[in-house]
Structure formats: C-alpha cells, structure tokens
Structure 1
C-alpha cells in the first residue's frame, strides 16, 4: 500500500470501516464539516475499510526479506506461518499491538477519537509503539523526535550541546568560569538551561522505550534451570537451559545475523577470585568470538565455550569449505551507490551459491542447553564455588560497526562513538546464581 498525500477531508483507511465515522458526521453535537470553505471542524469524509491491516499478511511485506540475489535475510513471517500461534489463530497484531509487548494480553478499550471534547464510541485500541531490540545511539536532542527541540536548535547545533558534561545543570553551571567558551548557539546560560529541560523530557521518553524493550525481550527469552553435573577437585561441569517463551516465531527473529543474545557466566571461589568466565566483552564491546578484532589480533583469547544465539553469515571459500564472515553490501564507493546484482542465475537454486545464513535461533517454544566445563587445574581449592549466569541481549555486535565504518556515519559520529553507544545498550534480561558444592 502506497502512502499518498491528501487533504484533511480525503478518506482515510482503517480496519473497521465507516460505521462510526458516518454516525459522527450525522451527529450535530460533533460540529464537523466535510466541505472546503464551510465553517467548523474539518474531518475526513469517509473511513474506508482496509481489512488486511488487522491480518498477519500485512506484516509480511517488511518482515520476510529476500534480497534480489535470493539471499533470505529475514524470515520472521515464514516462522510465524508454521508456528503454534498461527495455528491457534493468534495474529502478529495480538502480541505486538496489545496491552503488553510480546504476548497476546488483549487490547485496551476506549474512544477512537475525541472530537471537540466529545468522545466517539468505545472500540479496541491498538498500540503502535512496536517495541523491539533496537535503541538510539545518537544525541538525545535529535531523537526522539521533538518539535520543541527542532524549533530551539538545528541538528548541527544540538550536536554541539555537551549534555554528558552537564551543560544546563546547576552542578555544571555553578562552577563554569566566566571566561569559559561555548559554541555560539549555547553561549547563553539561559539557553543551556532551556535545552536541559528539553533533554530531561527526552531522557524520560527514552527510559519509557527502554522499559517496553525489556518487556518484549523478557517475554521472548527465558533463563531456566542450572544443572550441576560434576563438582569436585578434578573439575566442574554444569549446564544452563535457555528457552524461547513465545510460540509465534523464533528467538531471535528478523535480522538474526545481527541480534546479539548470549550468556555471561562467571565462576568464583569462596574468596571471590574469578576462576572461569565466558561471555565477557573485549574492549570494543564484542563477545570474544571469531569476529572480534581483538581475538583476530591475538590480544584476547577466543571464548571456546561462548553460548550465543546470533546467527552467522557463512561464505564459500575459493578452494572449498566455508567460513564465517561479515557480509558487506556489494556496492562501489561512488557518489551514487549502485548495488551489484548476482552474476549467476538463481532460477534453479533459489538462493545464492556463495553465502548463506547459519541460524542459531530457538524455534517457537524451543530450548537449548549451554554447557560449561572447568578443568581441575583452573580451580583454587577454595570451595564452594559460585556460578553467576546472566542472560543478555543487544541490538547488534560492535564488529558490525567496524565492518561498515568505511561508509561513514551520520551526525558526525565516529565509529568508536557508535560502537560505544551500541555496547552501552546491552541489557541483562535475567540472572541466576548457583552454589557449586565440592564433592569428595
């Protein structure tokens, strides 16, 4: 469906049709008009029914992505079509537009509109927030969208406002030397205070979004039992169960090649000394996998026991075999980007012969066991030991930023700033702790 610009009087489209709109137009109490030039409150002439808006098929256009070379990048809708939720008749909208993000918890009920202080009839109200794993890494004066912020300063000027230094707060302004230099737009202390008031509201909006993001992630991922299989002087073995709590699609879903979901496990002795750790981050904010630049450089060791659910892009080697890779978009550096098509026909294979997605996500209601082994020579002899397990999630790995930094970033951000913002958004969804008593 195309987006078409039109007059306020033009028809609009919705899931329910024109019944309530027709009632409002006939009721003089609403004092509405549908003709140009007439005095009164202008309103749409008609609400046309667009039934697909309430059906899962409407979501498919954006949430099943097959590239022009046959590469299946996202398969969220395909996963849904074969899921228990689809069989039961639960729609995408039921879980992602209702009272609670990520579960079919019903809908709020209320008037669809309030016209001149008079409400229309109560109806099902849908949420259009669509919380997901992504979060903002740019200046809070620019995002979330804020009309007052846009009127106060341009994007370039907001980027000059150093909110991290405390501009516009009493703690900062009370200590500013009289000869301190500021950008021209922010030279006035009153303007800095006004800007801080706007940012305070922005931070509240961002925190609200974070709450809904955690809600949908925690409804999808669950950290279950920890089973100790061995705990003695010869070593420790235990396993951790993680589960997809949704029955509508895989977890993670969508762009699974960039959804970082993993376990961070730390085992300490009775003195608090760390004897084992998996799932920790390198200085860039990457887990210590084969795509970490620090692992490649030999600065930090590969995390052989890392458990993560992020899918991998796998490419064919020239002389046979496959390897993991970060696949860039194949276009040259020119003023007009041109995406190069495949040089091979895909009629028979339906997918490119040179790359594929190796999926690691959990099927609907599925689970996996993360297994850990600590050799006896790593133990200090000071038991009992404690294993702390954290189930974490982030929108993307930092190595993706490194792979695309040659194209540059908007808002004058460096690759380091973007990567730091990505890593700062990693969240702990669940955590558990277990005592590892040593048997004789």
Structure 2
C-alpha cells in the first residue's frame, strides 16, 4: 500500500521533557505503576504487519533484556536480594525493570515473576515501548527517564505514513542518540555514572560528526517496513547488534605489533610495541556494563623450534594500573558475599581464568568499586570508579613488551603474535553464579604477527 500523507499529522521537533501525550508528564521513577499492561500492544500484534522487522527484533538482545540468562541471574540472585536488605540500593528492585522489563515497571508489577512464568515482563524492550516514547525528562537522558504515551498513536522516524491499525506520527526523537541514552546511560544510587555509552558517543568523534547510534546498530537498507508498505530505500533494520553479536565483535579492536630491531643475538633484549586501536565503535570499548566485561591483549613469542614465551606488558606507572595488568591471584567481588549472606566471603578471582589470559597481560577496563572500596560487578553498588583504561573511539594506545632472549634460544626466525580477546562476563563470576558458559567464553577479536631473527 502506498504511503498517504496525513494532513492532520504535524511533524514535531522534540526537546528534552516534551511529550505528545496529554496531562502530567511522568518519567523515570515517577512513571512506576503509571500505565497498565493492557495499554500496550503485544509484539505479536506488531508482527502481523511488520514482518521482517519483527523477525529481526526477535533475534536481538532487545527482545531478551529480561529473559536472557545472565540478566535473570543478576536480577533475582544479586540485585533483588540486595535491594531487600540495603536501603541505599532499594530502588533497584523496581529500577532495573525500567530498562529491562519496561512494561512491568510502568504497570507497577514489581518484582515481576521469573521468565519461566511467561508474564508480560518477558516482552522485555518491545515494539510498543519504543514506538510510544515521545521524549525524555530533564537535560540528560539516563535511568529510564523516557516519556511514554501509550495508545493508538505510534511514533516513528518517517513523516506522512498511514496504517490500517494505528495512527502514525513522525518523531525526530526516535532518530536521535538521546533516545538510546535514556537506557544506555545510568547512574548508581551513589550518583556515579556506571553506564555512559551515549555520553561516550557524545564526547567522541562520532557524536561530533553527527553519526548516531542507529547508524551502526540499526543500519538502513532497501525494503518494506510493513507488509503492505511501499518499497523504500532506507528502512532501519532492527538488528540492535552489539556485544552479543559475533559480527560486531569481530575486528572491533585492531592491533599491530613490531620489533625495535629485526636481528638480535641470544642474551640481547628486544623491545616490541603493540598499537591497539578502537577503529570501529563510536563509544569506548568495553562500554555499557563495563564492570563485568573483560578485554585484554595477550602477546607471545614462538622461536624457530616452536617454544612459546609469554611476554608480559611493560608497566607504565599510572595510578590504578594494577587493575589493568592481569593477575592469577588477585581477588575481587567480595560484595557478592554481603549480598548472598556468605560470612567471610574471600571474593573471586578478579580476572577469571581463560585459555589465553596470562599474568602480565594488559586489560582494558574501568574498575567499579563498592562503598568499601572493593571491586564489584554490581553496578547498583558502585560508589566510585577507578582509572578508565578503556579504548576511546578512533583512539590508539601503544603497549611495549621487553623480551630478553635466553642464551640458549635457537637461531632463526622468532614469530611474535599479539592478540586481543574479549569476554562479556568475568569467568569466575559466571562459574560461581552458574551462568551458562557462553556468557563468559573467550572471544577472539583480532590478531597480528611480526618477526625478527635470532642470529647464530
């Protein structure tokens, strides 16, 4: 069906805190319990017309924000019990759902039943949530401060369209990065930015160039946005692909390594420099739930007889660097014991265990600390942050490695391999909480080899 301009529909430009809805604007915590479940369409209804978009969405993490195994474990085994016993973080009992199960939050169904109960909380971040958001309250989008106006009017990025099921209005807000920021920025109860993906984008080169979140995570392609709609050259694909998508992870970080000399004798020292570049992401890497992510650089040398030598990174001496150099013994996450009522809980291995993580590897991370100064993966329990040693967009860092050649190293070529690996959740935490292994697996991001020769 050809799109017909709606003469009664105006094109709106949204500012922070504005809404198409009538009456008092409610956003953030004020929206808790303000809208019943039956005020929102089920995603199955949307799928009858928006077939391709629905099939894409069903495969995206957006549709699993509440049902995904780690999100369920984190909420029910950590956040919820902590909220019940610690008044300072009590708000997370409802607040987690503001972004992970928005209909549950807006309906006041707190805490929602577990995903196995198959309630409407399982709809996670569904079609009718995003397409009834009309703006955000305040100056900065964060902590689910979106303004929602459920009803027969659906808001989209395109003007002049009609639907047999609902009224359609253009909303420039849906085309903005601030739309994403309402959930992809988060402050802890201690007023600490624990998620700042939108803010990282805004401060970086992509934000300054006007390249918005949707350009990477909802790319345009020719097609139909609805079964009866006309062919369009620029339909936003509802992929929402990010940290759980192999294609997005592959090559997101680039690495190159070179030796200072091409020839050396046994006993001499060879200095190598690895350049690590965030050449693909418009925000820092890792971003989002950075408290639980692992990204590291592993360097090893292989001599002409096949013997492997692990090369630890040369320390730079900045404050907090100890959190960026892998350790086989350092412990962290002791607040899990507080939350779960385990007396004298010693903590878990800070960096976990992985096939290609060795003591001395460089870790790119932003440490989160609880009120007692201990490293935590509980973003709601974050009272302070450590040194931010993540990779900024289009930025490079140089890491050096000093290899003192053994006296008995055989002559011939030495291959040096620099590899960047990633894990979505620290393996020690995953094992302790019985999170399925796919969430904490080691993922190859990129690798590069160089060579030098050992002289006889």
- TM-score normalised by length of structure 2: 0.54
Question: Which residue in 2 is equivalent to 1:20?
Answer: 161
CA contact (8 A) 1:311 1:357 kept: yes
The separation in 2 between residues aligned to 1:360 and 1:52, in whole angstroms, is 32
Tell me, yes or no, if the aligned pair for 1:305 and 1:371 is still in contact at 8 Å: no
Cα distance, 1:314 vs. partner?
4.2
Change (3 A) 1:55 1:327: closer
- In 1, are the aligned partners of 2:153 and 2:169 still within 8 Å (CA)? yes
Tell me, yes or no, if the aligned pair for 2:297 and 2:421 is still in contact at 8 Å. Answer: yes
1: CA distance, partners of 2:291 / 2:252: 17
Of 423, 427, 446, the match for 1:398: 427
From 418, 431, 436, give the equivalent of 2:447.
431
Change (3 A) 1:242 1:73: same
Alignment of 1:187-266 (within 5 A): 213-218=245-250, 220-229=252-261, 231-234=264-267, 235-246=269-280, 248-266=282-300
Q: Which moved more, 1:89-98 or 1:242-251?
A: 242-251
Task: Provide the rounded CA distance (Å) in 1 between the counterparts of 2:41 and 2:439.
Answer: 39
Q: Is the 8 A contact 2:369 2:375 kept in 1?
A: yes
Structure 1 residues 378 and 419, CA gap change in structure 2 (3 angstroms)? farther
Q: 1:378–1:357: structure 2 CA closer, same or farther, 3 Å change rule? A: farther
Task: Give, in whole Å, the separation in 1 of the partners of 2:407 and 2:312.
Answer: 14
SS of equivalent to 2:199: helix
SS in 2 for 1:20: coil
User: Aligned to 2:188, which of 60, 67, 70?
Assistant: 67
Candidates 220, 223, 240, aligned match of 1:110: 223
Query: What residue in structure 1 maps to residue 243 of structure 2?
Result: 133
1:75-96 per-position Cα deviation (integer Å, ceiling 9, x unaligned): 1111111222222221111121
In the alignment, structure 1 segments of 5+ residues that lack a partner are 25-42, 99-106, 135-212, 280-285, 331-338, 340-350, 406-414
2:123 is the counterpart of 1:90: no
Count of matched residue positions in the alignment of Structure 1 and Structure 2: 282
Deviations for 1:160-216, whole angstroms, at most 9, x for unmatched residues? xxxxxxxxxxxxxxxxxxxxxxxxxxxxxxxxxxxxxxxxxxxxxxxxxxxxx2332
Q: Per the alignment, do residues 438 and 377 of structure 1 end up closer, same or farther by CA in structure 2, a change over 3 Å counting?
A: closer
**Displacement of 1:393 after TM fit?**
1.6
Given the alignment of the two structures, is residue 326 of structure 1 paired with residue 359 of structure 2, yes or no?
no
1:16-46 Cα distance to aligned partner (Å, 9 max, x none): 24x231xx6xxxxxxxxxxxxxxxxxx3141
RMSD: 3.6
* 1:310 pairs with 2:365: yes
Q: Quick one: distance in 1 between partners of 2:329 and 2:407?
A: 21
Note closer, same or farther for the CA distance 1:125–1:294 as it changes in structure 2 (3 Å cut).
closer
Contact 1:389–1:432, Cα closer than 8 Å, also in 2: yes
2:400 aligns with 371
Contact 1:241 1:370 (8 Å CA) reproduced? yes
Larger Rg: 1
Q: Distance in 2 between matches of 1:439 and 1:422?
A: 45
8 Å contact 1:133–1:394 — kept in the other structure? no
Deviation of 1:60 after TM superposition, in Å, equals: 0.8
TM-score by length of 1: 0.55
Q: 1:247 Cα deviation (Å)? A: 6.7
For residue 400 of structure 1, give the secondary structure of its aligned residue in structure 2.
helix
d(CA) in 2 for partners of 1:363, 1:383: 38
1:15 positional shift: 1.6
Which runs of 5 or more residues in structure 2 are unaligned? 1-26, 28-34, 46-150, 314-325, 333-347
Counterpart CA distance in 2 for 1:121 and 1:74 is 38
From the superposition, tell whether residues 287 and 356 of structure 1 become closer, same or farther in structure 2 (CA, over 3 Å): same
Residues in 1 aligned to 2:254 and 2:369: alpha-carbon distance in whole angstroms: 28
Task: State the shift of 1:402 in Å.
Answer: 5.2
**2:413 & 2:189 partners in 1: Cα distance?**
57
- Identify if the C-alpha distance between structure 1 residues 79 and 400 changes in structure 2 by more than 3 Å, giving closer, same or farther: same
- Alignment partners' CA distance in 1, 2:328 and 2:41: 52
Q: Which secondary structure does the structure 2 equivalent of 1:93 belong to?
A: helix
Checking the alignment, whether the CA contact within 8 Å between 2:329 and 2:349 is kept in structure 1 is no
**Among residues 383, 389, 405, which one is paired with 2:418 in the alignment?**
389
After TM superposition, give the deviation of residue 304 of structure 1 in Å. Answer: 5.0
